[in-house]
Amino acid sequence: MKIDRITLRRVQAPLKAPFETSFIRMEKKDCAIVSVHGDGATGYGESTAFSAPYYNEETTDTIWYMLEQYLVPALAGREVAHPDEISALFAPIRRHHMAIATIETAVWDLYAKREGVSLSQALGGTKQELDVGVSIGIEPTVEAVVRNVERFVEQGYKRIKVKIKPGFDIRLVDAIRRKFGDSLPLMVDANSAYTLADVPLLKALDPYNLMMIEQPLAHDDIVDHAALQRELRTPICLDESIHTLADARHAIELGSCRIINIKLGRVGGFTNAKKIHDLCMERGIPVWCGGMLELGIGRLHNVALSSLSNFTIPGDVSASSRFWERDVVVPEVDLIRPGVLAVPTGSGIGHEVCERTLDEWTVAKLTRDA
């Protein structure tokens, strides 16, 4: 297929409620949406960086810059036989994985649409339905988080993740266990808020039977995590530390984690995500799909990715209504039963993109013809 037009939009959408992690509090989504046109079809991509560089080094501005200056010019007018070519084409670029993923995922969507298959099928997915989890942010009080946990448990989410930070950790987990019991599938995400000096505190989480603790130590570490994992019964899951297939192999070989969170943006798109998935499967490491407060396009990419067979743990792939009053895809992503999402069977992402809603939220737009 020949890529004959690429459209970039910068989209800002209001979150239903602010979302707080150990590193930032977010009030709106600010992302790039790319449409890649070819052979009469359109594929969509959505960037996953935030406005400020506190999750990783990328921001929506750096994504826009990379797309405008490098990625879109390299792709416009190009003949693409298979989307695996995109990550190979951009492999010489150092980092900027989220920028690359924005356009790579769009080409996968376009490819699946041209082939008349779902994105899940194009990727080799095997599941028709997914058990899904939800990520719950930090609130001013433990009680407020417990109330949110209750709300999402009522919606049937199959796994609850709560954000923790120093001073807002053991007390929170203790309160949740006391109210919901030991059988609630519960995990915590520290977003790099601790150091090895906190080993005693992190060990004190062991009796709470957590499914895992996500990224307790530095965003760029795998060595200290290995030392910590030797001290903990609770499995460590790495998020921020894993950018490449080599990172995943190093972490597995060092014993830095027992579980890996795969985020499409962080690893540069579907082709790399699949490689990490396959390696983890070979090595007996379960994976799950992380979220970055995606709108419908990114959310449906995550659904398709999660349909691969080693995504055995419910991910942060919740319904549109978790974050949005209104979404950019029609229909929005909705639970088909409590805690269960259907993997779309229509071609590509399987839902229509509402250009009118996109236009309403667009603050900048740029079109490049081949």
Report, as residue numbers or ranges, the catalytic residues.
163, 263
- How far is C-alpha 283 from the chain's CA centre? 22
Distance, C-alpha 79 to centroid of its chain = 29
Residue nearest to ligand OSB (CB): 291
The residue among 72 and 262 lying less far from ligand OSB, judged by its C-beta, is 262
Judged by beta carbon distances under 5 to 8 A according to partner kind, the member of Mg ion, ligand OSB, none in contact with residue 169 is none
Encode burial over 31-68: b for 16+ CB neighbours within 10 A, e otherwise: bbbbbbbbeebbbbbbbbbbbeebbbebbbebbbebbe
Q: How far is the CB of 122 from ligand OSB (least distance, A)?
A: 23
3-state secondary structure of 336: strand
Say if residue 143 is exposed, middle or buried (CB neighbours under 10 Å; 0-12, 13-18, 19+).
exposed
Residue 46 binds what, of ligand OSB, Mg ion, none (CB under 5 to 8 Å, by partner type)? none
Determine contact, residues 259/281, Cβ cutoff 8 Å. no
To ligand OSB, the closest distance from the beta carbon of 187 in angstroms equals 10
CB of 198 to Mg ion, least distance (A): 17
Q: How many CB atoms lie within 10 A of CB 294?
A: 27
| Shortest CB 281 distance to ligand OSB, Å | 22
Both tokens assigned to 215: 């990224």
User: Do 288 and 313 meet the contact criterion of CB atoms below 8 Å apart?
Assistant: yes
CA–CA separation, 26 and 260 (whole Å): 24
Find residue 342's DSSP bridge partners: 129
Select the binding partner of residue 192 from Mg ion, ligand OSB, none (C-beta < 5 to 8 A, by kind).
none
Q: Which residues bind ligand OSB (CB under 6 A)?
A: 21, 55, 135, 189, 191, 239, 290-293, 316, 318
The binder of 84, among ligand OSB, Mg ion, none, by C-beta within 5 to 8 A per type, is: none
Q: Is 181 left (phi over 0), alpha (psi -120 to 50) or beta?
A: left
CB atoms within 10 A of CB 246: 11
- Smallest gap from residue 272 Cβ to ligand OSB (A): 18
With respect to ligand OSB, which residue has the nearer C-beta, 107 or 162? Answer: 162
Q: How far is the CB of 3 from ligand OSB (least distance, A)?
A: 29
Taking the least distance from each CB to Mg ion, the nearer of 83 and 216 is 216
Residue whose CB is less far from ligand OSB, 216 or 344: 216
Smallest separation, CB 298 to ligand OSB (Å): 9
User: Cβ closer to Mg ion: 6 or 236?
Assistant: 236
| Site residues for Mg ion per CB under 5 A | 189, 214, 239
Select from Mg ion, ligand OSB, none the partner in contact with residue 135, using the beta carbon and a kind-dependent cut-off of 5 to 8 Å: ligand OSB
Tell me which of Mg ion, ligand OSB, none is bound by residue 21, counting a contact when its beta carbon lies within the kind-specific cut-off of 5 to 8 angstroms: ligand OSB
Given a contact cutoff of 8 angstroms between Cβ atoms, the answer to whether 132 and 314 are in contact is yes
Please give the Cα distance from 259 to 314 (Å, whole number): 12
104 contacts which partner out of Mg ion, ligand OSB, none, CB within 5 to 8 A by kind? Answer: none
The pair of structure tokens assigned to 111 is 């490819």
Residue 66's H or E segment, with its range, is helix 60-66
Nearer to Mg ion, 64 or 288 (CB): 288
Nearest-CB residue for Mg ion: 239
- Residue whose CB is less far from ligand OSB, 87 or 318: 318
138: left (phi over 0), alpha (psi -120 to 50) or beta: beta
Residue 238 DSSP class: E
